[in-house]
């Protein structure tokens, strides 16, 4: 049976994608290897499922739809740039959430619980709302310069309307992942909701 690399996400609109591409240009350090997230792939992951057998996808879709029931569309703001585990040894470059953090956490918890009900393992780590913008592939001392640039960055993106959650397929290629929507769930009050 075929399987599909699957995750549940909130994809972010084109103006946010352009702002993230500009951010990547500003913090880039020549010679430091970073796999930057392609702007069109920019998203907030609510739940990563990994390889899901095709015959279990309907259970995923049903759990995500149920997890989004009664959840209202909301406004969100992205604010602050940081790195995991820290700025001295950045491995993952991220943008944080300010407004909308509670709504995103509530969606993630609801989706997590309903996916657990249909047999998907719960995440052991607590949910931390963030959007990954790059993964550092370098351990040279020059990585500290990247940390310095991240620390100096003051990104703030306001008024981002979130009105849907999507179950995404991730196809890994040599050039990076290709994402496609498998199922779209419109939140209450969102465009296209009944």
**DSSP symbols for 76-142:** EEEEEEEEES-SSS-SEEEEEEBTBHHHHHHHHHHHHHHHHHTTPPPPSSPP--EEEEEEE---STT
Catalytic one of 11, 130, 169, 183: 130
CB 10 within 8 A of CB 162: yes
Chain position carrying tokens 């719960």: 122
What letter would DSSP give residue 140?
S
Catalytic one of 12, 32, 43, 131: 43
Chain position carrying tokens 């997890």: 67
Q: Is 28 one of the annotated active-site residues of the chain?
A: no
Separation CA 36–CA 129 (nearest Å): 19
Separation CA 32–CA 58 (nearest Å): 42
CB atoms closer than 10 angstroms to residue 89? 13
CB 141 within 8 A of CB 103: no
Separation CA 161–CA 4 (nearest Å): 29
Active site residues: 43, 130
């Amino acid at each position: 049976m075929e399987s599909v690399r699957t995750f549940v996400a909130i994809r972010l609109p084109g103006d946010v994608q352009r702002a993230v591409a500009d951010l990547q240009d500003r913090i880039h350090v020549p010679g430091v290897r970073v796999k930057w997230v392609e702007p069109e792939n920019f998203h907030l992951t609510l739940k990563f499922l990994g390889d899901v057998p095709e015959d279990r996808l309907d259970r995923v879709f049903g759990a995500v739809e149920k997890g989004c029931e009664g959840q209202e569309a909301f406004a969100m703001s992205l604010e602050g740039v940081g790195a995991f585990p820290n700025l001295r040894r950045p491995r993952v470059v991220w943008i944080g959430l300010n407004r909308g953090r509670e709504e995103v956490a509530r969606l993630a918890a609801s989706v997590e619980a309903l996916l657990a009900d249909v047999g998907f393992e719960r995440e052991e780590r607590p949910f931390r709302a963030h959007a990954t913008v790059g993964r550092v592939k370098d351990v040279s001392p020059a990585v500290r310069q990247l940390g310095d640039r991240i620390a100096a960055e003051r990104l703030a993106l306001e008024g981002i309307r979130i009105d849907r959650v999507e179950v995404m397929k991730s196809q890994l290629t040599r050039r990076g992942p290709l994402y496609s929507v498998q199922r779209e769930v419109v939140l209450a009050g969102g465009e296209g909701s009944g």
